[in-house]
Structure 1
Amino acid sequence: MPHSTTFAVPVVDITAYTSGGGTADERAEVARRMDEACATVGFVQVLGHGIPDATLDGLKDALDAFFTLPLETKKRYRVEGANRGYSPPKSESLSLSLGVESASRMNDLFEAFNIGTEARSFTGLDLSEDDYGINLWPDVADFRPRIEAYFEEAGRVARTLTTIFADALGLPGDFYPSLTDHSVDVLRMNNYAMPEGTATLEGDPTGMGEHTDYGLVTVLWADQVPGLQVLDTQGVWHDVTPVDGAVLVNLGDLTARLTNDRWMSTLHRVMPPLVDGVIQRRRSVAFFHDGNIDAVIATLPSHLDAADGLAYEPILVRDHIRAKLAGSRQGKANTAAVREAARVQAAAERNRPSSE
């Protein structure tokens, strides 16, 4: 199926919000452009984010220092039953977070390392570490301070984006803080490379299966190496590579629920580029801003007339994330992701070769 030549991920410069000097008109224009991007694509190339180059360089060095360790060393940092620590290749299947049965279950080739907010970070609140998770830090020089420095910057960008979202949707300034003042935030570091001990790969391997992100918004740093693909509204997959200096931003399921799909939680996947049967290495780091674990997400009153009058049922953030993680990390198909699964299946039908 040929790709459309008209598809593009919009570029939005958010300097008017990050510089401290943007005028009301400049901020309104950023919010207008963000609204258009979220309503038409669901992915945005964001410039003017303000993440220092030194912080990004430290992030890359930390990734390389960890992922080049021997596989058996990395496996010491697995944390069973929690969204933390190391995930080796072929231990997850992101398509199952949508309830889509992949041809090969638990067969995504990427490896990952996760850290995030902990319940004990929020003093004075009665929160459970079962909902958050305890970070496990590898014994790698300077890994923790470099990752924590990037985590802080990515969190700042995510919170700036929700400020822009509130302006774009005509919401009061305290709307998103009320949903995110003890947010479950996770930083997932991904590495796509040949699994240790593998000489070549056959067939059409999946780096990361088709999925939508779970929460409110994702801030993604990625190498400028091909692999990431997003699904357009016509059911066609398109390659996406970050432009110079940009972070990629995409919306999660909870934002789609808030706007009744007017803003899209866009399906995406990673198909690692193969050169003579060998994966070209690719790194990415996703900061997931998922919202308060005890928040109830309900469609905004202003968007109840979208989607032909249908609306999502209100859902507790805890229940939504648990169902998604049970699919991706435990192999239990998520039966609640009806709309997302239908889009995957429609795309598969559209791209199936004709029998003629």
Structure 2
Amino acid sequence: MSSIPHVDMSRYNSDFDAFVQALGEGYAVNGFVALTGHGINTDTIHKALDISRELFALPEAVKKQYHRPGQGGARGYTPFGTEIAKDAKHVDLKEFWHIGRELEGPAPYPQLTPNVWPQELPNFKTEMLKLYAALDELGNQVLEGIAVYLKQPRDYFRKRVNLGNSILRPLHYPPIIDEGTPSVRASAHEDINVITLLIGSREPGLEVLSKSGNWVPVTIIEGAIICNVGDMLQRLTNGVLPSTTHRVVNPPAPYSHKSRYSIPFFLHFNPDVMIEALESCVSEDNPKQQEAISADDYLMQRLREIGLMK
């Protein structure tokens, strides 16, 4: 059983037209699909999740050495209780670490700052960069399908995200000590970026807001990767592809007494890309809704709204 449509990534090579149709129809439902047959090695995923557990098990004082205040959480550690969803009244019950694009030579954009790596876990860098590369390529394949679905050249997105400040975020939701807390693991929100790919977490909690206004628990086939539309893509498509509200609720016992781990990959446009409604997504029935804005200006605006930038 599944609460969101499944898309077989093996069709990317075997039947691209069918892949495009399945992807477009899947996103039109609720902005979320589950990718099967994606080809990312299970070992790569498990090793990344295992070393994430080791990372968050480090002493608090050690983790806080890698916090970089004033950078909007762009790299390194963000402590528990820092992030708050837009318009939410309570902080989220989570801590996380951000890994950005690893570059050789000078950065083409100032936003592509050096990564922060924990000295206590030398394998963390190796495993995270391996997963980053795999999800970056998978995300580009998804975007090729989206581009064709939107009547754009197949490589429309590739040249617009190749130097984007895309972020890999190992996430830890600690056990819930206070059952009466008004906070939840992740309050209702939409993602800022182009698309998000999510691995990990077999525990319940992730829910998607359906078009009918009901919260739907996300259940997927073992090994599938969840992939959802972000606000940047919604803006580019003039709302044709929806960025859907989702949340991670506090689960019932015994799950609430256990940690929850996941690793989303937030795929971003290059900072200087202008986000403006595609002509193919504008019509008399769907007039242009918003003015053009650069990807970086939009990101900074949204980071201020969620408390990561002042």
Instruction: Report what 1:85 is aligned to.
Output: 76
Pick one of 240, 251, 255 that aligns with 1:262: 240
Q: Which residue of 2 aligns with 1:108?
A: 92
CA contact (8 A) 2:208 2:215 kept: yes
Find the aligned partners of 1:307 and 1:187 in 2 and give their Cα distance: 37
Q: Which amino acid aligns with 1:108?
A: D
2:152 corresponds to 1:174: no
Amino acid at match of 1:111: E
CA distance in 2: counterparts of 1:135 and 1:274, whole angstroms: 36
From the CA coordinates, give the structure whose radius of gyration is larger: 1
Q: Note the C-alpha offset of 1:137.
A: 0.3
Per the TM alignment, residue 132 of structure 1 is displaced from its structure 2 partner at its CA by 2.7
Identity of aligned residues (%): 28
Q: Are residue 222 (structure 1) and residue 208 (structure 2) matched?
A: no
In 1, Cα distance between the equivalents of 2:99 and 2:203? 24
Partner of 1:288: 266
Q: Tell me the TM-score normalized by structure 2.
A: 0.92
Specify the alignment match of 1:51 in structure 2. Answer: 40
**Alpha-carbon offset, residue 41 of structure 1:** 1.1
Aligned to 2:53: 64
* Cα distance in structure 2, aligned partners of 1:258 and 1:16: 26
Structure 2 gap segments, 5+ residues each? none
Structure 1 runs of 4+ off > 4 angstroms?
Answer: 122-126
Could you tell me how far 1:276 is from its partner in structure 2? 7.0
CA contact 1:10–1:44 (8 Å) conserved in 2:
yes
- Quick one: which amino acid aligns to residue 149 of structure 2? A
CA RMSD, Structure 1 to Structure 2 (Å) = 2.2
Letter in 2 for 1:270: V
Which residue pairs with 1:37 in the alignment?
Answer: 26
Q: Which residue of 2 aligns with 1:137?
A: 117
After the TM superposition, which of the residue ranges 243-252 and 170-179 deviates more from structure 2?
170-179
Distance in 2 (CA, whole Å) between partners of 1:259 and 1:327 is 23
SS of 2:168 mapped into structure 1: strand
The Cα offsets for residues 108-153 of structure 1, whole Å up to 9 and x where unpaired, read as 11110111115xx27577421xx23321101214111011111111
**Which residue is 2:211 aligned to?**
233
Residue 221 of structure 2 corresponds to 243
Query: How far apart, CA to CA, are the structure 1 residues paired with 2:243 and 2:56?
Result: 29
Q: Secondary structure at the match of 1:269?
A: strand
Q: Which has the higher helix share?
A: 1
Q: Does 1:27 align with 2:16?
A: yes
Corresponding residue pairs, total: 307
Please report the TM-score for the alignment, with normalisation by the length of structure 1. 0.81
**Match of residue 140, structure 2, among 139, 159, 164:** 159
Q: Give the 3-state SS of the residue equivalent to 2:65 in structure 1.
A: helix
1:195-244 deviation line (CA, Å, top 9, x unaligned): 7xxx4332443101211111211111021111111111122211113321
Contact 1:46 1:249 in 2 (8 A): yes
Q: What is the one-letter code of the residue matched to 1:44?
A: V
Counterparts of 1:174 and 1:7, CA distance in 2:
31
